[in-house]
Amino acid sequence: MQKLPINMRVLPEQKALISQAAQILKMDRTAFILSTVCREAEEVLLNQRVFLLDDKAFDQFEKSLEEPLPNSNELQKLLSEKSPWQQ
């Protein structure tokens, strides 16, 4: 997969802070920034609670919520696993 550049300008004290944290974790600055920013992006996406649906899609969504869950081994296994934020 092709890697693409992301450029940004930071204040000297921000660069020093990032460098210090990366050094403590024995990571280079790029790896530290990428790891931290991707983790935060995942959290933002996981925490989305508002989504917009047209009337038809909302009716389908509401119907799905009201239907009983199937009793399956796969579902029981999934429900017994810890959520990503609990690990």
24-44 pLDDT tens trace: 999 999 999 999 999 999 999
Q: Is the pLDDT of residue 85 over 90?
A: no
Q: Is the pLDDT of residue 70 over 80?
A: no
The identity of residue 7, as a single letter, is N
Euclidean distance between CA atoms 87 and 85, whole angstroms: 6
Taking residue 27's Cβ as centre, other Cβ atoms within 10 Å add up to: 15
Percent of the chain with pLDDT over 90: 64
Euclidean distance between CA atoms 38 and 71, whole angstroms: 35
Mean pLDDT of the chain: 91
Is 53 within 8 Å of 61 (Cβ atoms)?
yes
Taking residue 9's Cβ as centre, other Cβ atoms within 10 Å add up to: 6
- Local confidence band at 57 (pLDDT 50, 70, 90 cut-offs): very high
What average pLDDT score do residues 14-19 get? 98
